């Protein structure tokens, strides 16, 4: 996870340098914190509904979470949130979205790319599709607020919340 985060951050910095890209502002605005937390709770709740009612999504999610979350200890969930949350947001919503124009087309392209990055194999397409939808919500939040901190906080808290729920739920079954 740390290696992937470093690679994504490096790619983001390279893209910014070569493409002369300006990031969305990254500023602390306390009034946007409820929006970021609300977005993360919405994403986690929608994911839970998909998990419950869409068997193909359930199978692909279990595969992904088994691979990523099961080996982690409880304190590691912090890093599950921070490392991908920071690096993926800086690359997809921080660098790619503005470099492609920061409009609806850019939002669609970066969302598709974000989903594709989460594709672990053909049979796990439902998880990648959902990741693309999440990428769209996170990108939309960056465009609407004009602040990269909103999708970063939302991504970090979504990963921590989802990871904790999954770890708690499956630890009871073991």
pLDDT, tens digit, for every residue of 74-86? 999 999 999 999 9
What pLDDT, on the 0 to 100 scale, is given for residue 174? 61
Q: Is the dihedral of CA 150, 43, 78, 2 positive or negative?
A: negative
pLDDT digits over 87-136, tens only? Answer: 999 999 999 999 999 999 999 999 999 999 999 999 999 999 999 999 99
- Under a CB-based contact definition with an 8 Å cutoff, are residues 107 and 140 in contact? yes
Cβ-based neighbours of 123, under 8 Å, separated by 6 or more: 59, 60
What pLDDT, on the 0 to 100 scale, is given for residue 122? 93
- Where does the chain show beta strands of DSSP type E? none
Assigned token pair, 57: 């999504």
Q: Indicate the pTM of the whole model.
A: 0.92
């Amino acid at each position: 996870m740390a290696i992937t985060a470093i690679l994504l951050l490096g790619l983001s910095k390279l893209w910014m340098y070569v493409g002369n890209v300006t990031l969305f502002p990254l500023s602390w605005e306390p009034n946007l914190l409820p929006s970021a937390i609300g977005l993360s709770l919405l994403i986690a709740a929608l994911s839970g509904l998909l998990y419950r009612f869409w068997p193909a999504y359930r199978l692909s999610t279990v595969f992904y979470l088994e691979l990523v979350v099961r080996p982690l200890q409880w304190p590691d969930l912090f890093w599950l949130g921070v490392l991908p949350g920071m690096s993926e947001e800086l690359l997809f919503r921080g660098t790619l979205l503005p470099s492609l124009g920061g409009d609806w087309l850019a939002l669609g392209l970066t969302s598709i790319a974000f989903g594709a990055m989460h594709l672990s194999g053909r049979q796990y397409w439902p998880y990648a599709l959902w990741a693309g939808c999440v990428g769209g919500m996170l990108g939309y939040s960056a465009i609407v607020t004009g602040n990269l901190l909103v999708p970063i906080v939302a991504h970090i808290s979504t990963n921590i919340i989802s990871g904790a729920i999954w770890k708690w739920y499956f630890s009871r079954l073991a």
